[in-house]
Amino acid sequence: MHAARSVSVVATVFLALTPAHGEDAFKAFKQLDGSVKMPKLNAFSANMGGTIPPSTSRNVSLEARLTNDGEAMQQGLSWRVFSPIPGPDGKLPLLASAEGGSADFQLAPGDYFVNVSFGRAGATKKLTVPRDGEMEKQVMVLDAGGIILNAVSGPDTRIPAKELKFDVYSSEALADGERGLVLADVPPNAIVRLNAGTYHIVSEYGSVNAVVRADIKVEAGKLTEAVMQHHASQINLKLVSEPGGEAIADTAWSVLAGSGDIVAESVSAFPVMVLAEGEYTAVARNKDKIYQKDFAVDAGRNEDVEILLTQ
């Protein structure tokens, strides 16, 4: 992450989707447009004691919901069944897995741990398969929702997707004072599935110092759109012999903040960079000569900064 000066942030959260996404995006999030039923798997023994005769195995049906009163998820799930007894490496052995929606497993009587994940959301429970009696369908509640992240520059200037990325962190700081990274380099307009809760979102516009942060709440069973506001603009630097002239090649650039610290450097005739709102000095070096110019960056106003050779 690049160091950034304190920058204000406005995070607009829509609990309902905006018209730009509509119901199709919500269906994509819930993955309810199919009816995939996973095939039965071979029987597994909870104590890893070897092959179990099919007659002793029990059919275990599992389904997952976003909320207690929600519908069963039909796609997008990953199921994992583990033995409760650690292996030689100290990890719980994976016995069976399935992808899709509701799942059926053939399991020998005994104890297991079952995990289901939906994107970055997940739930785990201990499962006991009895030798006799009715085996009820196992319902796991993910308590999950989703977010779509985007950002604008200034009041409403659209930011090119290639210039924008997001990192998702836990809202609570760890013992060392840092936040736990949940997901890195999330592109704009991507649906991110997460357990319900509050997350700390960091948005980077460009690669210099345009960074804003916001805490966003994810609600179970809902898709939330968060639009963050950057106070930054794209600046094009040019060393020219006359106003509006061609950029002069073989020029090295440094951009200094008002404090005098260097925030960006480039060796290019026409460098393009995104800078946070504020006061800067552009320094151009060409053929052992140095030229400089003070300039200001206003949020949402992309512009050229020209330095004349005669300055």
CATH number at 281 reads 2.60.40.1120
Show the domain range for 55.
28-141
Overall number of domains in the chain = 2
CA–CA separation, 126 and 114 (whole Å): 6
pTM attached to this predicted model: 0.76
Using CA atoms, how far residue 91 sits from 44, 83, 85, 88, 148, in Å, is: 17, 9, 8, 7, 35
Q: Is 83 a member of any domain?
A: yes
DSSP helix/strand/coil, 162: helix
pLDDT at 68 over 90: yes
Q: What integer is the mean pLDDT of 267-277?
A: 93
Please identify, among 111, 141, 171, the residue that sits at the C-terminal boundary of a domain: 141
Q: What is the mean pLDDT of residues 77-93?
A: 94
- Would 209 be classed as within a structural domain? no
pLDDT of residue 53: 52
Instruction: Among 141, 159, 193, give the residue marking a domain's end.
Output: 141
Pairing type for strands 121-129 and 94-100 reads unpaired
How many helices, marked H, and strands, marked E, lie in the chain? Answer: 1, 23
Distance from C-alpha of 311 to C-alpha of 84, rounded to nearest angstrom: 75
User: Which of the pair, 235 or 57, is modelled with greater confidence?
Assistant: 235
The helix (run of H) or strand (run of E) holding residue 30 is helix 22-30
Alpha-helical (H) ranges within 44-169 are: none
With respect to residue 222, please indicate whether it lies within any of the assigned structural domains.
no
Helix (H) or strand (E) holding 28: helix 22-30
Q: What is the CATH number of the domain that holds 65?
A: 2.60.40.10
- The answer to the question of residue 270 being in a domain is yes
Q: Which two tokens stand for residue 9?
A: 């942030």
Three-state DSSP state, 27: helix
User: How confident is the model over 178-233, as pLDDT tens digits?
Assistant: 889 999 999 999 999 999 999 999 999 999 999 999 999 999 999 999 999 999 99
Q: Work out whether the CA dihedral 38, 40, 42, 48 comes out positive or negative.
A: positive
Provide the 10 A C-beta neighbour count for residue 118. 23
Burial of 86 (C-beta count, 10 Å sphere; 0-12/13-18/19+):
exposed
Residue range 105-120: mean pLDDT, rounded: 95
3-state secondary structure 217-283: EECCCCEEEEEEEECEEEEEEEEECCCCCCCCCCCEEEEEECCCCEEEEEECCCCEEEEECEEEEEE
Radius of gyration of the chain (CA): 27
* CA–CA gap between residue 125 and residue 142 (Å, rounded): 11
Decide if 70 is inside a domain.
yes
**What does the mean pLDDT of the chain come to?**
83
Taken as a whole, the chain contains a residue count of 311
Cα–Cα distance measured from residue 250 to residue 94, given in angstroms and rounded to the nearest whole number: 59
> What is the per-residue pLDDT for 134?
86
Look at residue 155 in the predicted model and tell me its pLDDT.
87
Residue 187 DSSP one-character state: P
288: pLDDT confidence band, cut at 50, 70 and 90? confident
- Find out whether 292 and 284 touch, Cβ atoms under 8 Å: yes
- Amino acid letter at 255? V
* Residue 85 belongs to some domain of the structure: yes
Map tokens 């516009």 to a residue: 205
Residue 99 confidence class, pLDDT cut points 50, 70, 90: very high
User: Among 74, 137, 130, which Cα is nearest to 104's?
Assistant: 137
Tell me if 169 is assigned to some domain.
no
Residue 171 lies in a domain: no
| Rounded percentage of the chain residues whose pLDDT exceeds 90 | 70
Last residue of a domain, which of 113, 141, 169?
A: 141
pLDDT digits (tens, 9 = 90+) for 121-168: 999 999 999 998 889 999 999 999 999 999 999 888 889 999 999 999
Tens digits of per-residue pLDDT, 19-47? 334 344 444 444 432 323 333 333 343 44
| Residue for token pair 């297991």 | 112
